[in-house]
């Protein structure tokens, strides 16, 4: 049973923006609904209005705008996963989406909803962090673009304002082809992460030129592992060096114990999956 | 004309060639199910019906001081609330002992215990109403740990002297002597946990007022039990309650316990308000409030001699019953009498304790008390073998029960003991020897292992508890056959097997036969549990069908111009053994019988013979027969994460005659999935008695990717003399050894042993890590083993 | 707040439907309670079991997480819509033949997901089958026979295409 609310479906962007402007406190946007309906059922949110954005055309789709990949907030996980553009230009995101939930949910859930839901365990925030994405918001007051690093504030908390809509996810096309995504859960598939790690890397002459490493489910919000990144910057990539760097990840994270795992296990797994992700990314250069 | 049931059963036991027995006949209910037409409880939804929604306790142990329902009354005029006070009959639904109310009256004993039902014309409104019932409690101290509960001053049931519900016992020989003769000893404690049935359909029932009482349609396993309990709660006669099973969306034992309770809840509303009423549990209600597999602690010691023979075992089994005894006395009894595993052991002492705690109550679940003890036994067998330097499978073969063996309770096994052969065949088929040596040598992040485990399971009810089979068959004038049995179809395919039984005996096509099962209109055939639905349930059908043939023999003989004893039934025809080319059609014979005023219905009844059991010593006749199972499991463990992937399982069954191999495979595969879940991932997370994961988000059951390849089962058809065609039970078997087969394989792969289920990646990771650390430490100190 | 009713119009198994729904009702409830399509099963109501699967414009979705008003203008397919002129769909036949049905509660959702798979990919690999149905939980079968049934149907569909 869902709590009572009214349903509105604006046809045009301006309509949606003015509705949100008037009812910002008491309304919730619905995209795929896979988070919102669960939360409403649990009584965690009780909006008076549920605002359906699916009538707004410009919010779907994936396209390349000069050197930037643009993803509409209503693009479903499935669409993005299967998009030839994403497979080609941002295969790490495709790989992460492959491990996300399962078919039915992928057909409904959106990238925008996933980000705005700000689950610390999100499987999408980490690749988007590692890919240095930016987010564009719209409100009656105008437009705002922020780096994704500034977006997540805590569990369920983001920098989005009550009257704003997430209007676009922008990913600069990655220069390097070295990447990895690793997810660990309690079961082989269809499971929420105990930890997930996304790595994007550039190597030159066996030295690490640049590393972007992000981890999920091991802190109140998805995090970049700056400690590891800095440690490896310009370093030679020996097994030992990678292992030493991976161990540094514990300073970048702040895991809790919950139903899915203990904080200690999350720490150990962050180290192991960091090591594995760096090596997996390097392996891509070899083939 | 043969009327002695023993001789009739024996005739079919000796039969070698069958028409439909042993065939993979398609299920009779599959068509409705693939069309989405099958009607489960909730599909009886209709306008004008009332809906009940559950108000559950928010306390683990507390006195109920006041229930305020004013909020519900404000919500809508049509809403009402039912509490213990509204029960017209007896508020008592305990299965074994009268300790459990339908709705808690003065006291709650576990978090989630049903206290009230909010009733409304709309299910959502009823649900909304549950949040408006305000209950004032006086909290009491709770006890959650079964070991603590044994001597705790906190009484879950204040009127009882102790939290120990029951002690069980079995002893044989002299264990002091046995252990002193042993060359190797192993002693450890094993822990297993709650397992949720996680049937995809939650509990439910719908009740309709009837002229003299109620008619209830429920998701049940035993219509006559639901009838009894409903009648008791309503304070009316059983003749005023009719119970029929709906199509059941999974049961696995859970609906044996929950079915009657839901029937009584729905009937209460319908009976009092005079309107059809439906009660269904939400998934959350179900996972919080419905009974589960009993958590257990098993302290186990065993010894063996250098020549590889078991010399003694000693076990202390503690079963956590939760807040109510329910089936606990029976699950514990079964665990106790199976505590040796399917092995010969001359000296044994086993003690069991069933203990109350302030947690959700225990209940029937596939395997019924057996999985926790077999986990202990099968872990010990591997550990003993290792100490002896023997192959664990060979060690088992040396001790396995065979024809003429005596069990733990000193019961003589005269026949039907095929497990030794099953074990040898599983060894060959799985390529055991090669894999055992090959995998040992592997290194790297991912390691493989192969393990074996056996299991046994007594068929039918325990010791002297009466067990019987009963069925009624009617033939109508068109030759259509209706067979009435109380056995329910709960997804396991038994009714399809029953059709095969009747078809074989009457010699007519299966499509002429319809099973009217799971209804109080049928004779009481006992519950569909204890793997007895096909085996025990089938006996009555054979006997009834035989009686019908006898009723028709004279007429047939006259038409065929032969003697009665020469009449044969087969292929839809009736013919003479003397000249088989002369035959009459089944329909013509029926028509003739109708003309001759021969009444064509017959009941088949059989009381299973049982032996004596000495309760003091825990020795004697435990079960009419046992089914046996072997599982060989192959796993791969990722040492970095502790994640186990089960790659392949080789099952081998010694369950007597296989009536329908396709259905049996389905049972084997499904039970392995449940055993795998129990072994690796399923876990009810409890904090102070509160279920923290009442959903499939965090109570994980296996998905397609968690399942191994399951080989076609090996069948050793070790016929059971009283089973229909020699069939024993199959449904529960494969679950029993699955956890230990996996855990033994994990040990083979990693050298680390899990003694507390489930072996989640995290748990296995720490176990492997601490084993590695202690090895390093030993090496440093120069005390390497 | 008083709740209103919302008019929704969509196609259900090829036929147009026009009905009122509570704004806060799910598609699952709309189908089961208002339209009597009880083949769509309630298993968990939080998107985790797949029993309530329907096809929305040909794609499998879980109807328990879809707000009823949002299906305006869409095409919904349930198990009632997949057998043509009384003839079983090859998947339905294969499920019966392979023994893939036990309690049957997961069956309609499972078959619908499998249908969406075969419509897109008539020749799926074992891995693709497992991936497609990983969100449809089955507690009875251990999936073995379900996978076999999908493979069988895939063969069946291919051979009937060739003979066409
Ligand atoms: C069974 C199941 C399995 C799952 N598995 C995974 C998994 O493996 N990995 C994972 O990361 N997640 C998983 N999830 C979580 C969920 O599917 C995702 O978070 C999903 O991407 C959310 O998208 P949505 O479109 O459904 O969001 P909605 O539920 O529609 O919205 C989520 C939140 O975002 C807000 N919102 C949505 N769009 C906008 C917008 N454009 N502007 C502003 N606010 C907006 C909504 O108001 C709401 O608060 C799972 C969920 C379920 C039910
Ligand atoms: S009921 Fe919708 S997924 Fe379980
Ligand atoms: S057949 Fe019972 S859940 Fe799949």
Joined together, the tokens standing for residue B218 give 């429920």
- B470 strand-pairing partners: B605
* Contacting residues of A for C60, CB less than 8 Å apart: 103-104, 107
* CATH class in words for C90-163: mainly alpha
Q: How far is the CA of A98 from the centre of ligand 3 (A)?
A: 26
Neighbours of chain A (3+ CB pairs under 8 A): B, C
Q: How many CB pairs under 8 A join A and B?
A: 47
Q: What is the atom index within ligand 2 of the atom nearest the CA of C52? A: 2
pLDDT at position A30 is 97
CA C39 to chain B, closest CA, distance in angstroms equals: 4
pLDDT at position C31 is 98
Q: What's the CA gap between B471 and B469, in Å, rounded?
A: 7
Nearest to B710 among C43, C101, C144 (CB): C144
Q: Say whether both A185 and A259 belong to one domain.
A: yes
- Please report whether residue A55 resides in a domain: no
Contact A1 B123 (CB under 8 A): yes
Q: Say whether both A162 and A80 belong to one domain.
A: yes
- Alpha helices, DSSP H only, in B101-220? 123-130, 146-151, 175-181
Task: Walk me through the domains of chain B, giving residue ranges and CATH numbers.
Answer: 5-38+468-607 (3.30.365.10), 41-140+205-280 (3.90.1170.50), 296-462+614-774 (3.30.365.10)
**Which of C45, C54, C106, C139 has most ligand 2 atoms within 8 Å of CB, for mutation?**
C45
Contact B128 A188 (CB under 8 A): no
* Contacting residues of B for A190, CB less than 8 Å apart: 703, 705
Q: Is B655 on the interface with A (CB under 8 A)?
A: no
Q: Say whether both A160 and A187 belong to one domain.
A: no
* Contacting residues of B for C134, CB less than 8 Å apart: 703-705
pLDDT at position A1 is 83
* Contacting residues of C for B29, CB less than 8 Å apart: 101, 104
pLDDT at position B693 is 97
Closest ligand to the CA of C47: 2
The burial class, CB within 10 Å (0-12 / 13-18 / 19+), for B226 is buried
Of all protein residues, the one whose alpha carbon is nearest to atom 3 of ligand 2 is C47
Residue B756: φ, ψ to 5°: -135, 120
Sheet holding A207-216, edge to edge: A178-184, A195-204, A207-216, A223-224
Q: What's the CA gap between C45 and C47, in Å, rounded?
A: 6
CA B50 to chain C, closest CA, distance in angstroms equals: 14
Tokens 């439906």 identify what position? Answer: B278
- Please report whether residue A1 resides in a domain: no
Q: What's the CA gap between B128 and B699, in Å, rounded?
A: 25
Best interface-test mutation with B: which of A40, A187, A190, A196 has the largest number of B CBs within 10 A?
Answer: A187
Q: Is B283 on the interface with C (CB under 8 A)?
A: yes
DSSP three-state, residue A240 = helix
Q: Say whether both A202 and A219 belong to one domain.
A: yes
- Tell which residue, A165, A7, A181, has the closest CA to residue A72: A165
Q: CATH code at A201? A: 3.30.390.50
Confidence of residue C76 (pLDDT cuts 50, 70, 90): very high
Domain locations in chain C as residue ranges:
6-81, 90-163
pTM value? 0.97
Q: Say whether both A73 and A166 belong to one domain.
A: yes
* Contacting residues of C for A105, CB less than 8 Å apart: 47, 62, 65, 135
Q: Say whether both A95 and A150 belong to one domain.
A: yes
**CATH ID of C6-81, from 3.40.1190.20, 3.40.1350.10, 3.10.20.30, 3.40.50.300:** 3.10.20.30
The burial class, CB within 10 Å (0-12 / 13-18 / 19+), for B237 is exposed
Q: Do the Cβ atoms of B22 and B500 come closer than 8 Å?
A: no
Does A73 sit in the ligand 1 pocket, CB within 6 Å? yes
* Average pLDDT of every residue of chain A: 95
Contact C26 A4 (CB under 8 A): no
Q: Say whether both A37 and A88 belong to one domain.
A: no
Q: Say whether both A66 and A161 belong to one domain.
A: yes
Digit-coded pLDDT (tens) for B25-69: 999 999 999 999 999 999 999 999 999 999 999 999 999 999 999
pLDDT at C154 over 90: yes
Last residue of a domain, one of A172, A206, A223: A172
pLDDT at position C2 is 42
Confidence of residue C4 (pLDDT cuts 50, 70, 90): low
- Please report whether residue A200 resides in a domain: yes
pLDDT at position C160 is 79
Residues of chain B with pLDDT under 50: 784-785
Q: How far is the CA of A1 from the centre of ligand 3 (A)?
A: 25
Positive or negative CA dihedral for A258, A259, A265, A267? negative
CA C66 to chain A, closest CA, distance in angstroms equals: 7
Query: For chain B, how many residues are written?
Result: 785
Q: What is the atom index within ligand 3 of the atom nearest the CA of C146? A: 4
Nearest to A186 among B640, B700, B766 (CB): B700
Domain that holds residue A10: 6-50
Classify each residue of B542-569 as buried b or exposed e, where b means 16 or more C-beta atoms within 10 Å of its C-beta: bbbbbbbbbbbbbbbbebbebeeebbbb
Q: What's the CA gap between B470 and B692, in Å, rounded?
A: 44
pLDDT at position A36 is 98
What integer is the mean pLDDT of A41-55?
94
Q: Is B770 on the interface with A (CB under 8 A)?
A: no
Q: Say whether both A70 and A160 belong to one domain.
A: yes
- Please report whether residue A232 resides in a domain: yes
Digit-coded pLDDT (tens) for B728-777: 999 999 999 999 999 999 999 999 999 999 999 999 999 999 998 988 88
Tokens 């994980």 identify what position? Answer: B700
Q: How far is the CA of A146 from the centre of ligand 1 (A)?
A: 20
Distance, C-alpha B697 to centroid of its chain: 25
pLDDT at position A287 is 66
Number of domains in chain A: 3
- B354 strand-pairing partners: B166, B319
Distance, C-alpha A256 to centroid of its chain: 20
Closest ligand to the CA of B283: 2
Q: Cα dist. A126→A113, A135, A162, B226, B745 in Å?
A: 15, 14, 24, 53, 35
Quick check: ipTM above 0.85? yes
Side-chain half-sphere exposure of A241, counting CA atoms within 13 A: 15
Q: What's the CA gap between B642 and B135, in Å, rounded?
A: 45
Q: Do the Cβ atoms of A251 and A227 come closer than 8 Å?
A: yes
Those residues with Cβ within 8 angstroms of residue B293's Cβ, 6 or more apart along the chain or in another chain: B192, B194, B195, B362, B363, B365, B367, B371, B678
Contact C3 A50 (CB under 8 A): no
């Amino acid at each position: 049973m869902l709590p009572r609310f009214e349903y509105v479906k604006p046809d045009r962007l301006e309509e949606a923006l003015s509705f949100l402007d008037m009812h910002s406190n008491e309304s919730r946007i619905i995209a795929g609904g896979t988070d919102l309906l669960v939360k409403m059922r649990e009584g965690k949110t009780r909006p008076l209005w549920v605002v359906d954005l699916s009538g707004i055309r410009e919010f779907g789709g994936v396209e390349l705008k000069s050197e930037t990949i643009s993803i509409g907030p209503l693009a479903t996980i499935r669409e993005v996963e299967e998009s030839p553009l994403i497979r080609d230009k941002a295969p790490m995101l495709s790989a992460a989406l492959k491990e996300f939930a399962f078919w039915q949910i992928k057909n409904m859930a959106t990238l925008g909803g996933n980000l705005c839901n700000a689950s610390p365990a999100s499987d999408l925030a980490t690749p988007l962090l590692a890919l240095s994405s930016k987010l564009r918001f719209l409100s009656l007051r105008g437009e705002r673009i922020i780096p994704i690093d500034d977006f997540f504030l805590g569990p369920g908390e983001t920098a989005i304002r009550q009257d704003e809509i997430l209007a676009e996810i922008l990913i600069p096309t990655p220069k390097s082809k070295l990447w990895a995504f690793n997810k660990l859960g309690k079961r082989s598939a269809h499971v929420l992460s105990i930890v997930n790690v996304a790595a994007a890397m550039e190597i030159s002459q066996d030295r690490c030129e640049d590393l972007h490493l992000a981890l999920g489910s091991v802190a109140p919000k998805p995090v970049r592992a700056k400690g590891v990144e800095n440690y490896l910057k310009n370093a030679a990539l020996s097994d030992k060096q990678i292992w030493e760097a991976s161990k540094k990840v514990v300073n970048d994270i702040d895991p809790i114990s919950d139903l899915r795992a203990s904080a200690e296990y999350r720490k150990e797994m962050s180290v192991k999956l960091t090591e594995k992700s760096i090596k997996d990314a390097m392996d891509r250069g070899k083939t | 004309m043969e009327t002695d049931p023993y001789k009739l059963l024996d005739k079919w036991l000796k039969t070698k060639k069958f028409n439909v027995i042993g065939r993979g006949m398609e299920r009779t209910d599959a068509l409705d199910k693939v069309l989405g037409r099958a009607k489960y409880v909730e599909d009886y939804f209709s306008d004008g019906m009332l809906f009940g929604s559950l108000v559950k306790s928010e306390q683990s142990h507390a006195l109920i001081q006041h229930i305020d329902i004013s909020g519900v009354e404000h919500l809508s005029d049509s809403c009402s609330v039912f509490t213990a006070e509204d029960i017209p009959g007896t508020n008592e639904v305990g299965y074994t002992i009268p300790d459990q109310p339908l709705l808690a009256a003065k006291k709650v004993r576990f978090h989630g215990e049903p206290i009230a039902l909010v009733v409304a014309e709309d299910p959502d409104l009823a649900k909304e109403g549950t949040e408006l019932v305000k209950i004032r409690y006086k909290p009491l101290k709770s006890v959650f740990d079964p070991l603590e509960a044994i001597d705790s001053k906190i009484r879950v049931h204040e009127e009882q002297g102790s939290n120990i519900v029951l002690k069980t016992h079995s002893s044989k020989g002299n264990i002091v002597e046995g252990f002193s003769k042993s060359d190797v000893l192993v002693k450890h404690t094993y822990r297993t946990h709650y397992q949720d049935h996680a049937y995809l359909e939650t509990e439910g029932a719908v009740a309709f007022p009837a002229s003299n009482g109620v008619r209830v349609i429920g998701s049940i396993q035993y219509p006559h039990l639901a009838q009894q309990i409903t009648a008791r709660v309503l304070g009316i006669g059983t003749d005023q309650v009719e119970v029929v099973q709906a199509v059941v969306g999974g049961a696995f034992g859970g609906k044996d316990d929950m079915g009657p309770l839901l029937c009584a809840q729905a009937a209460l509303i319908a009976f009092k308000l005079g309107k059809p009423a439906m009660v269904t549990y939400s998934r959350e209600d179900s996972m919080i409030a419905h009974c589960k597999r009993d958590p257990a602690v098993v302290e186990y010691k065993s010894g063996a001699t250098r020549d590889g023979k078991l010399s003694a075992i000693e076990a202390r089994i503690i079963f956590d019953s939760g807040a109510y005894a329910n089936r606990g006395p029976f699950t514990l009894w079964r665990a106790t009498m199976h505590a040796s595993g399917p092995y010969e052991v001359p000296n044994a002492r086993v003690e069991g304790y069933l203990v109350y705690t302030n947690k959700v109550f225990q209940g029937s679940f596939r395997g019924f008390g057996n999985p926790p003890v077999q986990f202990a036994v099968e872990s010990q067998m591997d550990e003993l073998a290792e100490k002896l330097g023997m192959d664990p499978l060979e060690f088992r073969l040396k001790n396995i029960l065979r024809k003429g063996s005596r069990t733990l309770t000193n019961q003589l096994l005269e026949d039907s003991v095929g497990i030794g052969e099953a074990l040898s065949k599983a060894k060959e088929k799985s390529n055991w020897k090669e894999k055992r040596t090959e995998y040992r040598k592997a290194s790297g992040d991912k390691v493989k292992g192969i393990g074996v485990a056996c299991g046994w399971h007594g068929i039918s009810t325990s010791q002297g508890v009466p067990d019987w089979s009963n069925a009624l068959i009617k033939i109508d004038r068109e030759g259509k056959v209706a067979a009435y049995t109380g056995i329910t179809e709960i997804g396991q395919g038994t009714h399809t097997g029953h059709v095969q039984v009747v078809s074989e005996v009457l010699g007519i096509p299966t499509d002429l036969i319809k099973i009217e099962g799971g209804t109080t209109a049928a004779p009481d055939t006992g519950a569909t549990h204890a793997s007895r639905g096909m085996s025990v349930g089938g006996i009555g059908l054979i006997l009834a069908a035989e009686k019908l043939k006898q009723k028709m023999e004279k007429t047939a003989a006259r038409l065929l111009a032969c003697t009665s004893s020469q009449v044969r039934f087969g292929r839809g025809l009736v013919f003479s053994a003397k000249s088989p080319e002369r035959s009459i059609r089944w329909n013509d014979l029926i028509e003739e019988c109708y003309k001759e005023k021969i009444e064509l219905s017959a009941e088949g009844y059989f009381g299973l013979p049982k032996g004596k059991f000495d309760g003091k010593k825990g020795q004697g006749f435990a079960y009419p027969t046992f089914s046996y199972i072997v599982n060989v499991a192959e796993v791969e463990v990722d040492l970095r994460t502790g994640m186990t992937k089960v790659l392949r399982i080789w099952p081998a069954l010694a369950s007597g005659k296989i009536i329908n191999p396709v259905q049996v495979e389905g049972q084997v595969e499904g039970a392995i999935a449940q055993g795998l879940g129990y072994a690796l991932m399923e876990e009810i997370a409890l904090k102070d008695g509160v279920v923290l994961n009442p959903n499939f988000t965090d109570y994980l059951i296996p998905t397609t990717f968690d399942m191994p390849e399951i080989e076609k089962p090996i069948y050793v058809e070790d016929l059971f003399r009283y089973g229909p065609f020699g069939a024993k039970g199959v449904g529960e078997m494969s679950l029993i050894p699955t956890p230990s087969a996996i855990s033994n394989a994990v040990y083979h792969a990693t050298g680390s042993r899990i003694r507390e289920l489930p072996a989640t990646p995290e748990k296995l990771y720490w176990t492997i890590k601490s084993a590695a650390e202690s090895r390093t430490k030993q090496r440093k100190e120069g005390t390497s083993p | 707040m008083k709740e209103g009713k919302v008019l929704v119009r969509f196609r259900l198994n090829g036929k147009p439907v026009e009905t009122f729904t509570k704004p806060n009702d799910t598609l699952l409830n709309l189908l089961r309670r208002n339209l009597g399509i009880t083949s769509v099963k309630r298993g968990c109501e939080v998107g985790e079991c797949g029993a309530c699967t329907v096809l929305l414009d040909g794609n499998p979705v879980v109807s328990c997480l879809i707000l009823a008003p949002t299906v305006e203008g869409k095409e919904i397919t349930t198990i009632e819509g997949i057998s043509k002129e009384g003839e079983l769909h090859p998947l339905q036949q294969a499920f019966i033949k392979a023994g893939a049905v036990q309690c049957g509660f997961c069956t309609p959702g499972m078959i619908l997901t499998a249908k969406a798979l075969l419509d897109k990919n008539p020749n799926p690999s074992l891995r693709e089958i497992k991936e497609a149905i990983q969100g449809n939980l089955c507690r009875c079968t251990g999936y073995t026979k379900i996978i076999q049934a999908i493979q069988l149907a895939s063969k069946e569909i291919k051979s009937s295409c060739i003979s066409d």
